């Protein structure tokens, strides 16, 4: 099994272009199940997760052509309604085929999902929303089996214990597009990726209002046609490269960024003393002075994203002072703490909080990635650590970052793959 090796101590400098959003691409690809017509999706990153979604769509009757970030989806054979365990169990986002299958075919059998091990992430909100639309749902042998002679619009509250759910909002919104009548989703997720999916659905002929707000209204239509769409840039990749520049005291221009999508991250970094200059379509991060420790609390959008928590912890681990990082989305998402401590960090976990005492330096060490964002966290730590850091289980990284090591190499990092 391959591992990623990082030799720390190099200041990053240059330009990098951010890839299309993984978290937009996956539900948008799933939405092509709502039609038999051709769809063209541009800006799709070449990742393990997107390739898994291609396989799922093929198994459900679609033909996929992927060329230089452009995906063309056409109908290859009669649609199937069973999303197999072997594929769905590897990636949580694949569960978002449930809504479009139910909406288009009136039935769906989808394996309960897998993905990163970052704590309990139930699918109860997905099922609650689809039941409200009139679906009969059972759990049989590890599969969600959903049936509906006709979905009907409903007023649905999708708030959960830890706030709104992105994938549940996606699933219900897609199913509601072909339901009879009006659907109102209250406490809908406001993330840019949800809005991006909604914009694609509108291009397919859906009637949707309120994207980007907690209340989304969908007027059902009889059918959807094909559409062409370009996915938004990946805001989490952008945030990761911003922190890479800061942690190495570098000077990096980051292009293909929607700055408004990362306001919470930029605000917290500016509070820490970072120098960030924005321009149309991007920003420049340059080290001017030492940063100070800041407290961080993850929240649903537009709050500080949980997907940036681990990366921020890497930065705080080498920032003078004490910071408290509170995880309010996935309270168990702290498996990277032990690995950072192996590198010399001083981090203590107290329930949903991590207390980080900044240290002067980290030391390279063999570490193990537990999930996608923890992988990025360890890469960032390796960039600033003295000596060599060997990161095993790098397949997590390949799920969500397109050519990360190549992009870092182009900025001057010493990073490469080795056989484990």
pLDDT at residue 119 greater than cutoff 60: no
Radius of gyration of the chain (CA): 21
Joined together, the tokens standing for residue 58 give: 């093929």
Q: What is the pLDDT of residue 92?
A: 80
39 in catalytic set: no
Distance of CA 138 to the CA centre of its chain: 28
pTM across the whole model: 0.96
Once rounded to an integer, what is the mean pLDDT over residues 185-203? 98
Count of Cβ atoms closer than 10 Å to residue 272 Cβ: 20
In whole numbers, what is the pLDDT of the chain averaged over residues? Answer: 95
pLDDT at residue 158 greater than cutoff 50: yes
Count of Cβ atoms closer than 10 Å to residue 209 Cβ: 13
Of the pLDDT bands very low, low, confident and very high (cuts 50, 70, 90), residue 118 is very low
Once rounded to an integer, what is the mean pLDDT over residues 48-53? 95
Q: What is the pLDDT of residue 31?
A: 98
Whether 36 and 105 have beta carbons less than 8 Å apart is answered as: no
- Which of 237, 227, 221 has the alpha carbon at shortest distance from 197? 227
Alpha helices in 70-149 (DSSP H): 85-88, 98-105, 124-132
3-state SS, residue 165: coil
pLDDT at residue 114 greater than cutoff 80: no
pLDDT at residue 117 greater than cutoff 50: no
Domains present along the chain, CATH in parentheses: 2-19+233-419 (3.65.10.10), 22-230 (3.65.10.10)
Once rounded to an integer, what is the mean pLDDT over residues 165-170? 96
pLDDT at residue 161 greater than cutoff 60: yes
Q: What is the pLDDT of residue 420?
A: 66
> Which residues on adjacent β-strands are paired with residue 249?
none
pLDDT at residue 396 greater than cutoff 70: yes
- Which of 233, 231, 309 has the alpha carbon at shortest distance from 264? 309
Of the pLDDT bands very low, low, confident and very high (cuts 50, 70, 90), residue 115 is very low
Of the pLDDT bands very low, low, confident and very high (cuts 50, 70, 90), residue 126 is very high
Once rounded to an integer, what is the mean pLDDT over residues 164-189? 97
Joined together, the tokens standing for residue 272 give: 């820490």
Catalytic residue among 39, 96, 116, 377: 116
pLDDT tens digits, one per residue of 208-256:
999 999 999 999 999 999 999 999 999 999 999 999 999 999 999 999 9
pLDDT above 70 covers a percentage of the chain that reads: 98
**What letter would DSSP give residue 304?**
B
Q: What is the pLDDT of residue 89?
A: 83
Whether 88 and 94 have beta carbons less than 8 Å apart is answered as: yes
Alpha helices in 180-308 (DSSP H): 192-203, 235-247, 263-271
Q: What is the pLDDT of residue 5?
A: 97
- Which of 370, 126, 405, 356 has the alpha carbon at shortest distance from 241? 405
Angstrom distance (rounded) from CA 141 to CA 282 = 47
């Amino acid at each position: 099994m391959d591992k990623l090796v990082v030799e720390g101590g190099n200041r990053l400098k240059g330009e990098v272009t951010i890839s299309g959003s993984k978290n937009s691409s996956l539900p948008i690809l799933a939405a092509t199940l709502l039609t038999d017509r051709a769809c063209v999706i541009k800006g799709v990153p070449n990742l393990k997760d997107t390739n898994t979604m291609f396989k799922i769509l093929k198994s459900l009757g679609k033909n996929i052509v992927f060329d230089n970030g452009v995906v063309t989806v056409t109908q290859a054979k009669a649609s199937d309604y069973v999303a197999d365990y072997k594929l769905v169990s590897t990636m949580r986002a694949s569960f978002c085929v449930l809504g479009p299958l139910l909406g288009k075919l009136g039935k769906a059998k989808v394996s309960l999902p897998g993905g990163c091990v970052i704590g309990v992430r139930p699918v109860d909100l997905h099922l609650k929303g689809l039941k409200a639309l009139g679906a009969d749902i059972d759990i049989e042998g590890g599969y969600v089996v959903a049936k509906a002679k006709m979905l009907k619009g409903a007023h649905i509250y999708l708030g959960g214990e830890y706030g709104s759910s992105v994938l549940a909002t996606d699933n219900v919104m897609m199913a509601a597009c072909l339901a009879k009548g009006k659907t109102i989703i209250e406490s809908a997720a406001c993330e840019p990726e949800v809005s991006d999916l909604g914009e694609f659905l509108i291009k397919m002929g859906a009637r949707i209002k309120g994207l980007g707000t907690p209340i989304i209204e969908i007027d059902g239509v009889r059918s959807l046609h094909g559409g062409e769409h370009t996915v938004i840039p990946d805001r989490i990749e952008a945030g990761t490269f911003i922190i890479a520049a800061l942690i190495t005291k570098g000077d990096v221009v980051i292009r293909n960024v929607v700055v408004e999508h990362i306001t919470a991250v930029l605000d917290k970094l500016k509070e820490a003393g970072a120098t960030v200059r924005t321009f149309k379509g991007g920003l420049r991060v340059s080290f001017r002075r030492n940063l100070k420790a800041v407290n961080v609390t993850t929240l649903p959008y537009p709050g500080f994203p949980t997907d940036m928590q681990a990366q921020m912890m890497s930065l705080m681990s080498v920032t003078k002072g004490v910071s408290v990082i509170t995880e309010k989305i996935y309270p168990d998402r702290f498996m990277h703490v032990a690995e950072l401590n192996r590198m010399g960090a001083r981090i203590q976990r107290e329930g949903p909080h991590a207390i980080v005492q900044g240290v002067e330096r980290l030391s390279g060490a063999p570490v193990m990635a537990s999930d996608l964002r923890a992988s990025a966290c360890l890469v960032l730590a390796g960039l600033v650590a003295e000596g060599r850091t060997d990161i095993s289980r790098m397949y997590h990284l390949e799920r969500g970052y397109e050519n990360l090591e190549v992009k870092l190499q182009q900025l001057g990092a010493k990073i490469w793959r080795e056989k484990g």
